[in-house]
């Protein structure tokens, strides 16, 4: 380590190291492990001998260097250490243990072993784990992948997660699974004996084993718990104490990586890289020596580190330790791992080790060695803990006998271990306390610990003891917590987790002992609840807004954590009547004790109305303290429901203290809480801030409501069922502070004159109160309250969620509370009520409510929020209207109440209720009153409906005499004071036709019908109970008929209306078709025609190049500027028009990702290699602007961006500095503009077409003339060549473009230059035009591939924007040379021409196999223009030249294809019936063989080969067709507008080529050319080298194949090691979808420097794999990641879906995931279309938080 820290020390140290190296290696040779072992065996005191050996060797072998300069050296040193440890230290131990050669001894052991059926595989971080949702005893029971695949659970509903590391596979543990405990591999053999495995081993082996394990374990424990820095335990002192120390840095959770790295660089003056490596190791292992040397040297480093880190917080922990101490500690870890390995071979050895571990120690504070380790756990460093925890898992936890003994020790130490953990600053996974999950979740073990060790009570008491702050009443007070205490509060929550493990499986049988201990535990728990009862009280703030938001989260966190515990306790109670009754008594007792203080301070108050009177006390929620936390009341409510469910109350009433209960006191606190909610809704608590709003939110939220809101409603139901209903309602009225409004007319009169706010407040309160009453009488879907099953409860929940809208599976799961097993019960009911709709390529699968369940919809469902309620109401009314039904939403039929709650219904017919109903109905009669609301009326109508349903139901099930519920009779009586009016019924009848109540008309009608119906039922049953008439006929019949008539009429009207609309629409359609007749005829004709195959070659009239070229489709181009809306003609001399465009580098077509990117300064782009490893792609959104309009816009964007950066310093989705902007119309990401240029001239058919010879001759002459002119310029004299007629070398053609167009040509050229080469713009660079041609060629090629792969026709299927982009890009490239000096283009043409027609005299010519022919074609056609314009002769024949160039390049390509497509298969072809084409192919091939000889194999027939040639040349021809089409604006032939047969012929004629391309090569001139191509040495080399040759057609690149099952990927990733940090697991394994490379992302270890910046592995990879653009799959997150450059990226939904059609980003839900091929194809298409950058842009625009992510660190 210190080698790098300068000074003179290194030499000295290295010398010392070398010396010891030498000494050791000589001892290697003379050392015999066997002899040593024998000596030990004979010794009297084994420990002494072994210690002596260790004292001698350990310090010399381990930690002698302390670290090395480079990772390679460090690696070598590690290897050396490993070897020495094995030979000198471990080998003698193995000999001693086995008494023979270790490898054969171990093999024998394994052979004789009868392994226990436990799998016990310990999970790596990130490894997939599986849990069966049907069979697992609890969610902590998991299987490893191997076991899972071999188990029955594969076919069950399972959950998949990734392990956080540390747990182990439960396969083989019978208690962990309800069934299927064994996988195929771990099924115990029938012969498996229950014998003690130790007895199967030879006795002498066992005794040696006991001795050895004792010595080693004692040694290890002693060393790991050793806290001296400079001494060693007795017997281990080294022969001499050298002055060699290590400066040891320890891990903590306080300091960040950056702080540590920075400090280390200062303290031990190491490089940043080394510091990162130190920090990584410290983080992983818990400690790392950062310096090696004498004491002073190390101490100095220590003080620097301490000084540097002590400023803000406590300093980093550093120790200067003697190297011998560290060496022994290192060996102690090795010894533990060694024992862990050895016991894998034999269960007998394992048991022996367990025995030694737990053996009673003679004296001292620790009972056993394991005890000592456990109790020192928090003092050890992370690495040591991991090693010994691993050993415990391999030994004690795998042995069923000793697991129990260990569990008892663990439980005994529980309190102490937890207290240590509170002070420990390590995460829980590395604390021994985390083993609780392995012990407590075993049901028999948990029960044993509960009974024998008081575990339940211990856990609860420990928990309570750690929560210190209490108020005067002894309640928790979290707002006084400091940060330190808050941290502890976080830690202490793990105790609740332990409690949950203990309770998770309830006992099937109870012993008295268990009852006793459970109830003791319950006592402790009740004490805990008592501390929570009434905590965090709030007082309404009036006048001023609250100053500081009070702390509320801690209390709710506690509540949320305890909720599952309470549910479990209830389940336990429920399983034993004795326990239930006792628990109920305890709860009542404690609650009465707390209540006794309640009424004391408050004054009594008596209320009277409607002839009823009740005593209560003066208390107003709006003025006094009120608390949301009432866990005691709620627990009692829960137990009461259980009493009702189990009917204990009915059978054993004498055992229950029901008499002790005062119903008014029971309801008091829950009622206050509910009133608080109502008042908050009414806006009375606005000044209490967000803290209260949040509390109210969570009170109703699915995470808390089961143990809060739901239980409060139940408590009110309990109270109401035990009270006089009028009394109950009076207390409710009083608590709502509404008593006077209903009891005195004056009050209401006064209210009328009150302020609007107050009126509204009161209205809301009344609404809320009515809603509460509806819930109290109507909510019966809790088993015990109503006569329902838990199944019904879940189903009702789902029905109501789906009544809002169709929902995805995950949404439904979120809306339901989970039980202890993380199950909601959703799956059991979902299919019975809903139908599933599959997702498309986007979106997710949805469940839709089946229509016959819609009648169960209850508008006042208690779990609806206000928003939910109004959404559901709207949706349901809409549905009913669509079905032509009325829009009344009456209450559904409620289930019958349980006997204990049966008197609840009387609330509905109580006097006060009728008075309330009468009052509201009376108010509703006055339309302009304003002191009532429709919501109020709606609720009253609901209550009336509920009462009528109740009465109807009772009449249906019992006889009239038994029915005491007489609501229908009561509502006919006139109302009483204070609102003496007509009866409720009369009021309803009068409201039925009130115009201002139109919305409620249907509901009122429904009620009146019900009344009539109920009355008939009563009359019928009273007059003749013997007559068996189905109740509810007769009057109802006629009513129903009338109703049906009405509905029919409405439906008829609706049908007529629809028909009218349809008629109008079809009329419009006809009109449209008439107008566009031709179009429709064409469309229908073409589809019919294209199918039959044609035998004749089509007669194609369109030709896109050459002398027969067809003229341009249209000559004038008119375009409109999207910015100023002005229309403009595209002309060479006109105002420049531009197209927004995006240029990017691309490797999408690359056939060689390993090719190293060229050095930009010296890169020669003139010849593209056929592997197309790097190209530049141009795309456009197709939006056109004036050049100067665009410039103004871009300047404005720049200014805005500068201002914004000053303000916010953030990024935008586009990078203005790199010229990026968003298209002003469509916001598409762009970084340049393409100038629009006019069409080329129409062809001149009058000129003669020169033959190939003539043209070549002329061109050669022209080239010669140019060359000599160039030479002359540079001062070299030469012979004057013959200049062809009219060719003027010195001619300067007139620039065909206006200055503004020229400027735009330069702008675009420079953008391409910048992007392609990553260089600053340089207009003088001769490569500028080449790069422009290159992007044109590359873009055309990539679009040709896309069309081919998607099986689309070559022409006519591209979207407009791509069409526009390609045509402007092609025309631009044909003219871009005009912006460069003319000689530049000349030189390029000359070089291209010579490559095509190689001159055997020129030496450095290019091999024909190293050129992409399409690029060559484009470049030569483009550059030819510059030569051609010098020709001032009469017969200018640019078209002929293009055709000749095409012919030449095509032949070259054919040769290329023939040379590369030869395979065995092609040669062995036997079919010899040759067509002309085949013959010619053979002929050409044989010509090639003539030149190349034996390199090419002999060919028997040309059939296969000619097919290969056609296939190989097709992409080239298609690309060429696109190119000339856009260059010359020729209309495409109709044959190419569709796919199908005849394409080849059409293509050839369009390109003016013969159908048999081979005819081209028959030209004698070409014979010599072919010869010249073949003799290039490169050709022979490539053919002999084989391998890397590009073959044609180049196969399209695809994204890598992904496995169908996502867990395969997780498993792959979990065994992926970080390539940099020597065998570490990667934290964020990420898969490159382009090349399949796995990367270690988002981690310091794998950062690389790119362009002077440290970037993460993904970003670094994009620069080698995707030219800066990457598509990845983050395996642990199940997330697709797009990255572009260093600053941009976004996440994209993964192509994996669960069975419910949903993705699981973050793998939170754990449903099995499967590949969705369509979605993956969509991603692939996005990549191939070069659309990824655009997707990132749009995502970042839509979501600003994406912009802030440091993408480069991923």
Q: How far apart are CA 1174 and CA 1318, in angstroms?
A: 13
1262-1299 burial, b at 16+ Cβ within 10 Å, e below that, comes to bbbbbbbeeeeeeeeeeeebebbeebeeeeeeeeebee
Q: How far apart are CA 450 and CA 446, in angstroms?
A: 6
Residue 1123 as a binder of Zn ion (CB under 5 A): the answer is yes
Q: Cα dist. 1489→1474, 1520, 1613 in Å? A: 19, 29, 50
Residue 242 as a binder of Zn ion (CB under 5 A): the answer is no
- Output the six-digit token pair for 1620: 């940099």
Sole window of 838-846, 1411-1419, 1644-1652, 1701-1709 interacting with Zn ion (rule: CB under 5 A): 1644-1652
**Consecutive H or E run containing 1229:** strand 1229-1230
Q: Give counts: helices (H), strands (E), the chain.
A: 63, 25
Residue 413 neighbours by CB under 8 Å, 6+ apart: 371, 374, 375
Nearer to Zn ion, 1449 or 1665 (CB): 1665
| Under 8 Å between Cβ of 734 and 618 | no
Query: Cα 22 to the chain's mean position, in Å?
Result: 55
Residue 1196 as a binder of Zn ion (CB under 5 A): the answer is no
Residue 1165 CB, nearest distance to Zn ion (Å)? Answer: 24
Tell which one of 224, 396, 1234, 1665 touches Zn ion (CB under 5 A): 1665
Residue 1645 as a binder of Zn ion (CB under 5 A): the answer is yes
Collapsing DSSP states into helix, strand and coil, what is residue 521?
Answer: helix
Residue 609 as a binder of Zn ion (CB under 5 A): the answer is no
> Nearest CA to 1713 among 1614, 1602, 1629, 1607?
1607
Phi, psi of 1268 (to 5 degrees): -65, -35
Nearer to Zn ion, 1189 or 1566 (CB): 1189
Residue 1140 CB, nearest distance to Zn ion (Å)? Answer: 5
Residue 153 as a binder of Zn ion (CB under 5 A): the answer is yes
Q: How far apart are CA 599 and CA 664, in angstroms?
A: 11
Residue 1015 as a binder of Zn ion (CB under 5 A): the answer is no
Tell which one of 33, 171, 642, 1520 touches Zn ion (CB under 5 A): 171
Residue 1635 as a binder of Zn ion (CB under 5 A): the answer is yes
Nearer to Zn ion, 1130 or 1665 (CB): 1665
Site for Zn ion in 751-780 (CB under 5 A): none
Residue 1120 CB, nearest distance to Zn ion (Å)? Answer: 9
Residue 1188 CB, nearest distance to Zn ion (Å)? Answer: 7
Nearer to Zn ion, 634 or 1145 (CB): 1145
Tell which one of 1646, 1675, 1697, 1747 touches Zn ion (CB under 5 A): 1646
Site for Zn ion in 535-564 (CB under 5 A): none
Collapsing DSSP states into helix, strand and coil, what is residue 1426?
Answer: helix
| Under 8 Å between Cβ of 290 and 299 | no
Residue 1134 CB, nearest distance to Zn ion (Å)? Answer: 13
Q: How far apart are CA 264 and CA 276, in angstroms?
A: 9
Q: Give me the count of residues in the chain.
A: 1754
CA atoms within 13 A on the CB side of 1632: 21
Residue 1192 as a binder of Zn ion (CB under 5 A): the answer is no
Residues touching Zn ion: how many (CB under 5 A)? 35
Sole window of 358-366, 846-854, 1009-1017, 1642-1650 interacting with Zn ion (rule: CB under 5 A): 1642-1650
Tell which one of 317, 863, 1186, 1444 touches Zn ion (CB under 5 A): 1186
Residue 1141 CB, nearest distance to Zn ion (Å)? Answer: 10
Alpha helices by DSSP H, listed for 1238-1289, are 1252-1273
Tell which one of 156, 404, 415, 880 touches Zn ion (CB under 5 A): 156
- Output the six-digit token pair for 131: 């849990």
Residue 1189 as a binder of Zn ion (CB under 5 A): the answer is yes
- Output the six-digit token pair for 1367: 């045509």
Residue 144 as a binder of Zn ion (CB under 5 A): the answer is yes
Residue 393 as a binder of Zn ion (CB under 5 A): the answer is no
Collapsing DSSP states into helix, strand and coil, what is residue 1692?
Answer: strand
Q: What share of the chain is helix, strand, coil (3-state, %, to 5)?
A: 60, 10, 35
Tell which one of 13, 60, 121, 844 touches Zn ion (CB under 5 A): 121
Tell which one of 496, 591, 940, 1121 touches Zn ion (CB under 5 A): 1121
Residue 1228 as a binder of Zn ion (CB under 5 A): the answer is yes
Sole window of 1429-1437, 1499-1507, 1588-1596, 1660-1668 interacting with Zn ion (rule: CB under 5 A): 1660-1668
Nearer to Zn ion, 201 or 1366 (CB): 1366
- Per-residue string for binding with Zn ion, 801-840, x by CB under 5 A? ----------------------------------------
> Nearest CA to 621 among 665, 666, 670?
670
Residue 186 as a binder of Zn ion (CB under 5 A): the answer is yes
Residue 1395 CB, nearest distance to Zn ion (Å)? Answer: 32
Residue 1036 neighbours by CB under 8 Å, 6+ apart: 1009, 1012, 1013, 1016
Sole window of 849-857, 1069-1077, 1507-1515, 1634-1642 interacting with Zn ion (rule: CB under 5 A): 1634-1642
Residue 1141 as a binder of Zn ion (CB under 5 A): the answer is no
Nearer to Zn ion, 145 or 920 (CB): 145
The radius of gyration computed from the CA coordinates of the chain, to the nearest angstrom, equals: 44
Tell which one of 1225, 1283, 1531, 1749 touches Zn ion (CB under 5 A): 1225
- Output the six-digit token pair for 656: 């229950």
Residue 373 neighbours by CB under 8 Å, 6+ apart: 221, 224, 225, 388, 432
Sign of CA dihedral 1516, 1662, 1692, 133: positive
Residue 491 as a binder of Zn ion (CB under 5 A): the answer is no
Sole window of 129-137, 1160-1168, 1390-1398, 1556-1564 interacting with Zn ion (rule: CB under 5 A): 129-137
| Under 8 Å between Cβ of 1419 and 1337 | yes
| Under 8 Å between Cβ of 1304 and 1236 | no
Tell which one of 1148, 1223, 1449, 1574 touches Zn ion (CB under 5 A): 1223
Residue 1633 CB, nearest distance to Zn ion (Å)? Answer: 8
- Output the six-digit token pair for 1590: 């590009």
Tell which one of 1183, 1345, 1709, 1730 touches Zn ion (CB under 5 A): 1183
Residue 1634 as a binder of Zn ion (CB under 5 A): the answer is yes
Residue 183 as a binder of Zn ion (CB under 5 A): the answer is yes
Residue 1628 as a binder of Zn ion (CB under 5 A): the answer is no
Residue 1623 CB, nearest distance to Zn ion (Å)? Answer: 11
Secondary structure, 3-state, 631-666? HHHHHHHHHHHHHHHHCHHHHCHHHCCHHHCCHHHH
Tell which one of 37, 135, 785, 788 touches Zn ion (CB under 5 A): 135
Residue 321 as a binder of Zn ion (CB under 5 A): the answer is no
Site for Zn ion in 1586-1625 (CB under 5 A): 1618, 1620
Residue 1124 as a binder of Zn ion (CB under 5 A): the answer is yes
Tell which one of 90, 169, 692, 1392 touches Zn ion (CB under 5 A): 169
Residue 1364 neighbours by CB under 8 Å, 6+ apart: 1139, 1180, 1182, 1184
Residue 147 as a binder of Zn ion (CB under 5 A): the answer is yes
Tell which one of 98, 119, 528, 582 touches Zn ion (CB under 5 A): 119
Nearer to Zn ion, 1389 or 1672 (CB): 1672
Interacting residue ranges for Zn ion, rule: CB under 5 A: 119, 121, 132, 134-135, 144, 147, 153, 156, 169, 171, 183, 186, 1121, 1123-1124, 1181, 1183, 1186, 1189, 1223, 1225-1226, 1228, 1618, 1620, 1632, 1634-1635, 1637, 1640, 1643, 1645-1646, 1665
């Amino acid at each position: 380590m210190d080698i790098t820290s300068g000074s003179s020390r290194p030499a000295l140290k290295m010398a010392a190291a070398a010396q010891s190296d030498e000494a050791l290696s000589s001892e290697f040779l003379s050392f015999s492990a066997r002899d040593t072992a024998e000596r030990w065996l004979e010794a009297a005191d084994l420990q002494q001998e072994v210690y002596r050996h260790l004292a001698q060797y350990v310090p010399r072998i381990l930690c002698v260097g302390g670290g090395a300069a480079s990772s390679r050296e460090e690696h070598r040193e590690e290897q050396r250490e490993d070897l020495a440890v094995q030979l000198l230290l471990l080998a003698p131990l193995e000999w001693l243990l086995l008494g023979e050669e270790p490898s054969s001894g171990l093999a024998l052991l394994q052979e004789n072993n009868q392994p226990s059926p436990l799998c016990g595989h310990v999970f790596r971080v990130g490894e997939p784990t599986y849990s069966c949702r049907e069979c697992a005893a609890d969610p902590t029971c998991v299987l490893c992948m191997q076991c899972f695949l071999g188990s029955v659970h594969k076919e069950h509903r399972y959950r998949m997660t990734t392990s956080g590391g540390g747990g182990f596979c439960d396969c083989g543990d019978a208690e962990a699974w309800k069934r299927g405990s064994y996988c195929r591999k771990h099924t115990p053999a029938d012969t498996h004996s229950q014998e003690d495995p130790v007895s199967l081993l030879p006795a002498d082996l066992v005794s040696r084993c006991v001795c050895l394990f004792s010595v080693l374990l004692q040694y290890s424990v002693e060393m790991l718990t050793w806290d001296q820095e400079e001494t060693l335990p007795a017997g281990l002192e080294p022969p001499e104490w050298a002055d060699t120390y290590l400066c040891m840095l320890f891990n903590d959770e306080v300091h960040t990586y950056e702080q540590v790295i920075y400090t280390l660089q200062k303290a031990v003056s190491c490089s940043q890289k080394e510091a990162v490596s130190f920090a990584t190791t410290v983080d992983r292992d818990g400690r790392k020596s950062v310096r090696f040397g004498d004491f002073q040297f190390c101490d100095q480093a220590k003080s620097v580190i301490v000084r540097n880190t002590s400023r803000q917080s406590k300093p980093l922990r550093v120790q200067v330790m003697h190297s011998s101490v560290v060496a022994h500690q290192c060996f102690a870890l090795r010894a533990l791992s060694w024992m862990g390995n050895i016991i894998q071979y034999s269960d007998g050895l394992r048991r022996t080790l367990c025995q030694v571990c737990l053996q009673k120690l003679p004296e001292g504070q620790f009972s056993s060695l394991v005890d000592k380790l456990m109790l020192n756990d928090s003092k050890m460093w992370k690495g040591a803990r991991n090693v010994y925890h691993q050993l415990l898992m391999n030994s004690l936890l795998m042995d069923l006998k000793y697991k129990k003994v260990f569990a008892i020790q663990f439980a005994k130490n529980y309190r102490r271990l937890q207290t240590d953990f509170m002070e420990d600053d390590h995460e829980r996974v590395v604390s021994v306390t985390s083993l609780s999950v392995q012990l407590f979740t075993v049901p028999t073990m948990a029960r044993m610990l509960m009974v024998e060790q008081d575990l339940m009570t211990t856990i609860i008491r420990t928990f309570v003891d750690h929560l210190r702050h209490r108020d005067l009443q002894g309640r928790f007070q979290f707002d006084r917590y400091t940060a330190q205490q808050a941290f502890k509060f976080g830690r202490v929550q793990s105790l609740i987790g332990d409690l949950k493990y203990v309770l998770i499986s309830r006992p099937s049988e109870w012993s008295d002992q268990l009852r006793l201990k459970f109830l003791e535990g319950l006592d402790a728990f009740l004490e805990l609840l008592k501390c929570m009862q009434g905590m965090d009280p709030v007082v309404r703030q009036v006048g001023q807004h609250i100053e500081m938001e009070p702390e509320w989260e801690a209390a709710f966190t506690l509540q949320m954590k305890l909720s599952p515990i309470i549910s479990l306790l209830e389940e336990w109670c429920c399983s034993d009547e004795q326990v239930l009754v006792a628990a109920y008594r305890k709860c009542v007792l404690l609650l009465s004790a707390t209540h006794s203080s309640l009424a004391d301070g408050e004054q009594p108050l008596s209320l009277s109305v409607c002839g009823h009177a009740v005593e209560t006390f003066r208390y107003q929620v709006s003025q006094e303290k009120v608390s949301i936390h009432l866990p005691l009341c709620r627990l009692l409510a829960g137990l009461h429901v259980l009493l009702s469910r189990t009917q204990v109350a009915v059978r054993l009433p004498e055992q229950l203290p029901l008499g002790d209960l005062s119903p008014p006191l029971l309801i008091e606190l829950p009622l206050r809480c509910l009133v608080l909610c109502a008042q908050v809704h009414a806006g009375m608590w606005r000044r209490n801030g967000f803290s209260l709003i949040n509390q109210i939110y969570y009170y109703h939220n699915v995470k808390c409501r089961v143990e809060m809101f739901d239980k409060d409603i139940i408590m009110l139901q309990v109270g109401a069922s035990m009270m006089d209903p009028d009394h109950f309602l009076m207390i409710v009225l009083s608590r709502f502070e509404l008593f006077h409004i209903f009891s005195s007319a004056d009050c209401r009169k006064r209210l009328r004159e009150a302020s609007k706010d107050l009126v509204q407040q009161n209205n809301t309160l009344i609404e809320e109160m009515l809603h509460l009453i509806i819930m109290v009488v109507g909510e019966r879907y809790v088993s015990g309250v109503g006569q329902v099953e838990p199944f019904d409860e879940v189903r009702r929940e789902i029905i109501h969620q789906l009544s809002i809208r169709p929902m995805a599976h995950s949404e439904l799961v979120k809306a339901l509370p989970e039980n202890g097993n993380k199950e909601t019960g959703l799956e059991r009911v979902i299919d019975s009520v809903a139908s599933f709709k599959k997702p498309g390529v986007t979106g997710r699968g949805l469940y839709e409510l089946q229509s016959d369940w819609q009648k169960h919809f209850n508008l006042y469902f208690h779990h609806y929020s206000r928003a939910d309620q109004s959404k559901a109401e709207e949706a349901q009314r809409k549905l009913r209207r669509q079905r032509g039904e009325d829009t009344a939403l009456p209450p559904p039929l409620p289930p019958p109440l349980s006997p204990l709650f049966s008197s609840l219904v009387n609330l509905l017919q109580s006097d006060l209720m009728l008075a309330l109903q009468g009052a509201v109905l009376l108010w509703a009669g006055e339309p302009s009153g304003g002191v009532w609301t429709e919501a109020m009326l709606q609720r009253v109508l609901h209550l009336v409906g509920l009462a009528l349903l109740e009465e109807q139901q009772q009449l249906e099930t019992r006889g009239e005499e038994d029915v005491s519920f007489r609501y229908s009779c009561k509502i006919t009586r006139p109302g009483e004071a204070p609102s003496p009016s007509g009866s409720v019924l009369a009021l309803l009848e009068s409201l039925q036709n009130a115009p201002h109540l139109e919305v409620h008309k249907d509901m009122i009608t429904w009620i009146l019908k019900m009344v009539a119906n109920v009355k008939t039922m009563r009359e019928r049953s009273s007059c003749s109970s013997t007559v068996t008439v189905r109740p509810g006929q007769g009057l109802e019949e006629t009513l129903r008929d009338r109703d049906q008539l009405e509905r029919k009429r409405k439906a008829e009207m609706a049908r007529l209306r629809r028909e009218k609309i349809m008629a109008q629409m079809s009329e419009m359609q006809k009109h449209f078709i008439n107008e566009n007749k031709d179009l429709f005829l064409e469309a229908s004709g073409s589809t019919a025609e294209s199918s039959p195959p044609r035998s004749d070659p089509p007669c194609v009239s369109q030709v896109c190049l050459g002398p027969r070229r067809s003229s341009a489709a249209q000559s004038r181009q008119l375009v409109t500027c999207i910015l100023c809306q002005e229309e403009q003609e595209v002309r060479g001399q006109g105002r420049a028009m531009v197209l927004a465009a995006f240029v990017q580098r691309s490797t999408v077509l690359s056939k060689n990702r390993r090719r190293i990117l060229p050095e930009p300064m010296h890169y020669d782009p003139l010849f593209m290699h056929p592997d197309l490893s790097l190209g530049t792609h141009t795309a456009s959104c197709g939006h056109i602007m004036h050049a100067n309009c665009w410039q103004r816009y871009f300047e404005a964007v720049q200014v805005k961006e500068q201002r914004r950066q000053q303000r916010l310093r953030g990024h935008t989705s586009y990078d203005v500095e790199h010229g990026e902007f968003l298209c002003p119309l469509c916001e598409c990401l762009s970084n340049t503009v393409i100038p629009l240029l006019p069409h080329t001239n129409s062809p001149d058919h009058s000129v003669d077409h020169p033959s190939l010879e003539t043209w070549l001759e002329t061109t050669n002459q022209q080239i010669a003339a140019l060359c000599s002119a160039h030479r002359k310029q540079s001062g070299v004299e030469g012979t004057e060549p013959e200049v062809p007629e009219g060719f003027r070398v010195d001619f300067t053609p007139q620039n065909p473009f206006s200055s503004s167009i020229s400027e735009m040509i330069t702008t675009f050229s420079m953008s391409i230059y910048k992007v392609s080469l990553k260089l600053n713009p340089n207009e003088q660079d001769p490569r500028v035009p080449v790069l422009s041609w290159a992007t044109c060629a590359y873009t055309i090629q990539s679009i040709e591939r896309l069309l081919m792969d998607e099986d689309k026709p070559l022409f006519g299927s591209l979207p407009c924007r791509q069409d526009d982009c390609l045509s402007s890009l092609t025309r631009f490239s044909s003219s871009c040379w005009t912006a460069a000096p003319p000689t530049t283009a000349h030189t390029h043409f000359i070089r291209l021409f010579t490559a095509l027609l190689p001159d055997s005299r020129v030496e450095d010519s290019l091999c024909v196999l190293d050129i992409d022919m399409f690029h060559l074609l484009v470049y030569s056609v483009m550059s030819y223009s510059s030569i051609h314009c010098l020709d001032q002769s009469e017969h200018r024949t640019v078209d002929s030249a293009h055709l000749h160039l095409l012919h030449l390049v095509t032949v070259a390509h054919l040769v290329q294809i023939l040379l590369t497509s030869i395979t065995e298969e092609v040669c062995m072809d036997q079919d010899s019936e040759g067509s002309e084409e085949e013959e010619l192919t053979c002929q050409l091939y044989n010509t090639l063989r003539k030149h190349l000889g034996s390199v090419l194999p002999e060919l028997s027939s040309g059939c296969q080969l000619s097919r290969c040639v056609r296939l190989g040349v097709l992409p080239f021809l298609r690309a060429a067709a696109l190119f000339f089409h856009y260059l010359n604006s020729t209309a495409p032939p109709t044959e190419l507008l569709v796919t199908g047969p005849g394409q080849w012929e059409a293509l050839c004629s369009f390109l003016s080529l013969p159908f048999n391309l081979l005819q081209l090569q028959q030209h004698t001139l070409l014979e010599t050319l072919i010869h010249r191509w073949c003799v290039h040495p490169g050709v022979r080399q490539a053919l002999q080298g084989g391998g890397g040759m590009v073959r044609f057609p180049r196969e399209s690149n695809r994204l890598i194949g992904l496995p169908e099952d996502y867990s395969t990927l997780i498993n792959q990733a979990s065994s992926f090691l970080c390539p940099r940090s020597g065998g570490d697991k990667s934290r964020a394994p990420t898969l490159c979808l382009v090349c399949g490379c796995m990367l270690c992302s988002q981690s310091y270890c794998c950062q690389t420097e790119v362009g002077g910046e440290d970037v993460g592995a993904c970003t670094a990879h994009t620069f080698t794999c995707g030219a800066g653009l990457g598509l990845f799959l983050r395996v642990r997150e199940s997330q697709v990641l797009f990255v572009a450059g260093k600053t941009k990226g976004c996440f994209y939904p993964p192509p994996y879906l669960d069975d419910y059609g949903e993705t699981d980003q973050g793998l939170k839900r754990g449903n099995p995931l499967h590949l969705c091929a369509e979605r993956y194809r969509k991603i692939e298409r996005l990549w191939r279309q070069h659309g990824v950058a655009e997707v990132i842009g749009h995502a970042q625009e839509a979501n600003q938080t994406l912009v802030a992510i440091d993408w480069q660190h991923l």
